[in-house]
Structure 1
Amino acid sequence: MGAWGHRNFDNDTAADYVATFQENPVESTLFESLEAAFEDEYVDADVASEALAAAEIVAAAQQKATSDFPQDLLPSIASLHFTNPESAKKLARRAVKAILKESELQELWEEGDDYKSWRAVQRELLERLT
């Protein structure tokens, strides 16, 4: 059985993404995941989970990490340098908004009991990306 929780690092897809990012902690890895969240009108749950993890990493790189940010990811964040930090935040916000607007992940949460909690986490992430 996989991990599943309302926070952005509380699922197996995000955990796998973190491992991939740690192998190559560069902005292009994050940008690819963020851009995938709005390439199609409908966002797959795995694509959305990866994009939300990437958005959390962008926020953390701006000194605005969530309280449940994976501690083993901090060294990768310390070495991360954005060409344009404002552009990275804008891209991350766009991805989160696309996921909230229409995505498989949003629909899955909407069907469950923790939808309000999940949505609150995303709204808080958007605030940290300002």
Structure 2
Amino acid sequence: MAEHSEQTCKQVGGAITRVFELLGKRWTGLIVAVLMQQSVYFSDLRRAIPGISERMLSDRLTELAAAGLLVREVDEGPPLRVSYRLTEAGRALGPALKELGLWAEMYLPEGGGRC
């Protein structure tokens, strides 16, 4: 039988809460994973993530930029193009994402969580 006391039931730490508040949102992890490979133009990023709307992609990119994980760069045109690249902080997520991918391959069945 499990013990139920203050010591055994601690609150989730602030750092992990902040991580999941940002990266736990739908699409955010996929965006970071695509950008892990290289800088990407908005339209290419949208094509790389099937099912994401332009509005949702724009919102998530804004959140990631505000968190300091990516940089938005405008390439003067014509045509005017916007690209995104990860900052040092964003690239530092690489090992964690790789480990999560390995974990998923081992413990999550393919297609188990897809709509």
TM-score range, shorter chain: 0.3 to 0.5
* Greater per-residue helix proportion: 1
Q: Which has the higher strand share?
A: 2
Q: TM-score, normalised by structure 2?
A: 0.32
Q: Structure 1 length as normaliser, TM-score?
A: 0.30
Larger CA Rg, structure 1 vs 2: 2
